[in-house]
A and B are shown apart, each in its own frame.
Chain A
Amino acid sequence: MATQAEHSSTNRRDFLYVATGAVGAVGAAAVVWPLINQLNPDASTLALASIEFDVGAIPEGQSVTITWRGLPVFVRHRTAAEIEEARAVPLADLKDPQTDEERVKEGHEQWLVMIANCTHLGCIPVGESGDFDGWFCPCHGSHYDSAGRIRRGPAPANLVVPPYEFVSDTLIQIG
Chain B
Amino acid sequence: MSEHSTYTPGNSVEKWLDDRLPVVRFAKEHLMDFPTPKNLNYWWTFGAILVMCLGIQIVTGIILAMHYTPNVAMAFDSVEHIRRDVNGGRIIQAVHAVGASMFFVALYIHMFRGLYYGSYKAPREIIWILGVLIFILTVATAFMGYILPWGQMSFWGATVISNIFSAIPVVGENIKQLVLGGFAVGNPTLNRFFSLHYLLPFVIAAIVGLHIWALHVPGNNNPIGVEVKESRDTVAFHPYYTMKDLFAMVVFMIPFAWFVFFAPDILGHPDNYIMANSQVTPAHIVPEWYLLPFYTILRAIDFNVLFIDSKLGGVIAMGGALVMLLILPWLDTSKVRSGTFRPMFKWFYWLFAINFVALTYLGAQPAEGIYTVLAKVCTAYYFIYFLVVLPVLSRIETPKPLPTSISESVLGKAHA
Contact = CB atoms under 8 A, between A and B. Distances in A.
Interface string B89-103: 101100000000000
Q: Which of A38, A39, A40, A42 gathers most chain B CB within 10 Å?
A: A38
Interface residues on A, range: 10 to 19
Interface in A7-44: 34-35, 37-40, 42-44
A123 B366 CA distance: 64
A8 to B, nearest CB: 13
B59 A38 contact: no
A42 B66 CA distance: 12
B63 interface: yes
Contacts, number: 32
B3 interface: no
Interface string B303-342: 0000000000000000000000000000000000000000
A38 B84 contact: no
Interface residues on B, range: 10 to 19
Contacts of A39: 66
Contacts of B91: 34
A35 B85 CA distance: 15
Contacts of B87: 34, 37-38, 40, 42-43
**A contact face: mostly helix, strand, loop, or mixed:** helix
A35 B84 contact: no
Interface string B53-91: 000000100010011000000000000010011111101
A44 B85 contact: yes
Contact of B84 (A34, A37, A40, A43): A43
A99 to B, nearest CB: 41
Contacts of A43: 84-87
Contacts of B88: 34, 37-38
Interface of A: 34-35, 37-40, 42-45
14 contacts: A34-B92, A35-B63, A35-B92, A38-B66, A38-B86, A38-B88, A39-B66, A40-B87, A42-B81, A42-B85, A42-B86, A42-B87, A43-B84, A44-B81
